A and B are shown apart, each in its own frame.
Chain A
Amino acid sequence: MRAILIFLGVCWFPIYSKGQSQTFFSGVFPEVSLTRKLSNENRINFKIENQFILFDNRVGEIKEAQFTHYRTDLMAFHDWRINSTNSMAIGVFYRFQEGADAKRIIQQYALIQRLRNLRLSHRFRTDQTFTKQEKIEVRFRYRLSFELPLNGMTLDPGEHYLMISNEPIFSLQNKEFELENRLVFGMGKLYSNGQKLEWSMDYRTDGFIQNDLRTRLWFKIGYFQSF
């Protein structure tokens, strides 16, 4: 409980500490991920993410609740199994966003560590984003995730788990370096061995170097199905 309060405090601090001088927006972020295991144990993944803004401090005085489509991302990955806990993937991505549709290619290496009652996963990614009338953006990102079963030492079907992840993203575009951070805190439930539902808060900060600081707080609901 204490951890949740501290997390909320950290999330809201930048909004009130600098008033309107920085961008902040918040909204809902549903996502669906479908993973198909192939006969050679490699995997194909399809994912769709939607972001809808419910609050945006750039919009003058707020008289009524907002519900604005911000972006929809579609992505597909082919993942090669190295062994039971390591894999490498390449992916393609298309973003629908008003005036900023984008294409991206992604390369990643992921590693899972099984500790006694905790699972740690490391994901290393590089990606290259192509947006019309903009220079290519190249990024490197590393995500560390913890998954802790809330009932017993191992996560069994029907049980909940706590998940926390953090991902710094280093970006280079037009010879300018930028930094972003994504902190996610949430809870999930494993329904069967291939099915998870997660509810989380995803707190994103960027614009540390080139632009004014921007913060985004997303309330996510994610459905993950593997078959």
Chain B
Amino acid sequence: MKIINILRFGFSFIVLFMLVSIAVLAQDKVEKEERIREKEVPKIAQEWLYDSFEKIKRPKWYKEFSDSGYSFEAKFQYDDHFHSVEFDSLGNILDVEIEIDWSELKEEVRSSIGNYFGEKFKEHKLIKIQIQYSGEEEDLKEFFDEDENEGILTQYEIEFSGIDLSGDSRIWEGTFDSQGNFLAQRIVRVLEMANVIF
């Protein structure tokens, strides 16, 4: 009898929460990205990419939705580095991000960023470093085609885990200018993973 009551309790508890879960389905947020086929990408973006990265092989294309609209992104390996190239909804180039190692940064940039970590954090561990190039379409094309860096804005985005001076331990993303001077910082949210923890 005891077991039957437990069974009833447990089963109704589960059914109730399944129903609650279905009731909340409609609350999905708008921000997301989805994998798309190349033919769904504006021609102008495809042309820019293949002109600027002549040896490129099979980039993966994504459409990124946000509250303000959508953009396109190509992700691929090139010259042993992972690249992300972002285009607006019409296919105009926005920026190029390339993952690099700490050792690939110039000595003075490393020193400047290192000083920032030393002053603002008790501990830090680098997770990912990206160099970001933005500018006008023609300037960016010439930069990747002919190494001309006129009109190019260079910044570094660095993701790192760290403990700040107040003792707050988080994953952060810091943005630094081309000389390694600090520009901005935000907290990187880690998606809830209770399903694999408990």
Contact call A192/B27, Cβ cutoff below 8 A:
yes
Binds A, one of B3-11, B86-94, B108-116, B132-140: B3-11
Residues of B within 8 Å of A89, CB to CB, are 197-198
Contact call A121/B190, Cβ cutoff below 8 A:
no
Interface code A89-102, partner B: CB below 8 Å = 1, 0 otherwise?
A: 10100001010000
Contact call B62/A155, Cβ cutoff below 8 A:
no
How many pairs of A and B residues are in contact by the CB < 8 Å rule?
Answer: 142
Contact call A32/B24, Cβ cutoff below 8 A:
no
A119 CB–B CB distance under 8 Å: yes
Residues of B within 8 Å of A91, CB to CB, are 198
Contact call B28/A158, Cβ cutoff below 8 A:
yes
Residues of B within 8 Å of A43, CB to CB, are 194
State which of B4, B28, B127, B198 has its C-beta within 8 Å of the C-beta of A47. B198
A30 to B15, CA, bound (A): 9
Q: Which of A28-45 contact B (CB under 8 A)?
A: 30-35, 43, 45
B196 CB–A CB distance under 8 Å: yes
Contact call A155/B21, Cβ cutoff below 8 A:
no
Chain A nearest CB, measured from B168 CB (Å):
9
Contact call B21/A226, Cβ cutoff below 8 A:
no
Contact call A194/B192, Cβ cutoff below 8 A:
yes
Instruction: Return the chain B residue nearest A30 by Cβ.
Output: B14
Instruction: Return the chain B residue nearest A86 by Cβ.
Output: B169
Residues of A within 8 Å of B34, CB to CB, are 151-152, 159
B101 CB–A CB distance under 8 Å: no
Binds B, one of A7-15, A75-83, A132-140, A209-217: A75-83
Interface size class of A (residues with CB under 8 A): 35 or more
A158 to B27, CA, bound (A): 9
A27 CB–B CB distance under 8 Å: no
State which of B18, B32, B192 has its C-beta within 8 Å of the C-beta of A156. B32
Instruction: Return the chain A residue nearest B25 by Cβ.
Output: A191
A46 to B24, CA, bound (A): 20
- With A50-B11, A154-B33: A224-B194 Cβ-Cβ less than 8 Å: yes
- With A155-B191, A193-B191, A195-B24: A72-B10 Cβ-Cβ less than 8 Å: yes
13 contacting pairs across A/B (C-beta < 8 A): A50-B11, A83-B163, A121-B197, A151-B34, A152-B33, A152-B35, A153-B62, A154-B33, A156-B31, A193-B29, A223-B14, A225-B17, A226-B192
List the interface of chain A (C-beta within 8 A of B).
30-35, 43, 45, 47-48, 50, 69, 72, 75, 77, 79, 82-85, 87, 89, 91, 96, 98, 108, 110, 112, 114, 116, 119, 121, 123, 143, 145, 147, 151-159, 163, 165, 188, 190-198, 221-226
> Knowing that A32-B14, A156-B32, A158-B32 are A-B contacts, what are 7 other residue pairs whose CB atoms are under 8 Å apart, sorted by A's residue number?
A50-B7, A83-B163, A83-B169, A85-B161, A89-B198, A151-B34, A197-B21
List the interface of chain B (C-beta within 8 A of A).
2-4, 6-7, 10-11, 13-14, 17-18, 20-21, 24-25, 27-29, 31-35, 62, 75, 82, 127, 161, 163, 169-171, 188, 190-198
